[in-house]
Each structure stands twice: as C-alpha cells, then as structure tokens.
Amino acid sequence: MVACPKGVNTGGPEALHQLASSVSSFGFETFLWDPNSNEIQNQNDNYFLRYEATWTNSPPSKGDALIIPEVMGHLVPKFYGECQCILWWLSVDNFYISNKIPFDILLHGFPKVIHATQSEYARNFLEVRGVHNIAMLTDYLNRDFIEVIA
C-alpha cells in the first residue's frame, strides 16, 4: 500500500502514483490510500489517471508493506509493528514543513523502518544522521515534461 494525498498535483504524489503503477505491473496487488480522505477518487486526481493506480479507503492491514512519503511521517508510529513501514524521502525540506513528529524520534525511535530516498541528497542527509538501512527508490519524468522541453 502507498500512502498518497489526493488532489495534490505535484512531483511527490506523481512519484507515488508511478510507484504504485510500477509495483502493480509486476503482479503485486498495490493500492493508493489517503489517510485524510474517504473518497475513492477526487476530480483533481484526473491528471494521474495515466498511471492506472487503484485507490482504496481501507487502511493497511497487519502484515502489509506501507510506503509512506516523508510528508506523512506521522503515520509511522500508527502502523509501526503492524506493517513494514517504508519511509520514502522524496524531499527532506518538505519533511520539516509538513510533519507533526520530531525528526529524531522518527529516525531513531523506529529502528525497523526502511528508509528509501529519491535523491543522493536525501541519502547523504540520512547517512550523516546515523541511518544505515537506506534504499534508493527513484522516480522518472513523465512524457508531458519531456515533450515540453524537447
């Protein structure tokens, strides 16, 4: 399961849609889930329809893998121990802007969280702070962006 805010058309949610689509293409049942919404799909999410990701209203279940973007780091304590939490650091700066959980508690209070980074900057940021279970998980530019600059 991939935690993803609805109605936000920025790079982070697009990367989350790309991830859900890619994982599904390998035959794994994958859902996007917005913990702050009860709607299956918001009209503003039409931009991401190309990824054919499936939404659910149901929160993750015990034993699920839950990918959490850094802007939703507050979900880690809620699901830690029930799910395999994977915190995807799409933006270090956005973590500080949007989170309700202290950085040190998130990094050191939940040792079994897997930290995935979208950039070398984020990987270095975590490594300097003592995080060693880091995986690189990158996204890609969509065709719309490539066609505009070509």
66 vs 137, residue with greater confidence: 66
Q: How far is CA 145 from CA 22, 91, 140, in A?
A: 19, 20, 10
Sheet of 65-69, strand order = 54-56, 31-33, 2-3, 65-69, 84-89, 114-117, 134-136
Q: Give the domain extent around 97.
A: 2-149
Number of domains composing the chain: 1
pLDDT tens per residue, range 60-90: 999 999 999 999 999 999 999 999 999 999 9
Q: What's the CATH code of the domain at 107?
A: 3.40.50
* 39-68: average pLDDT: 82
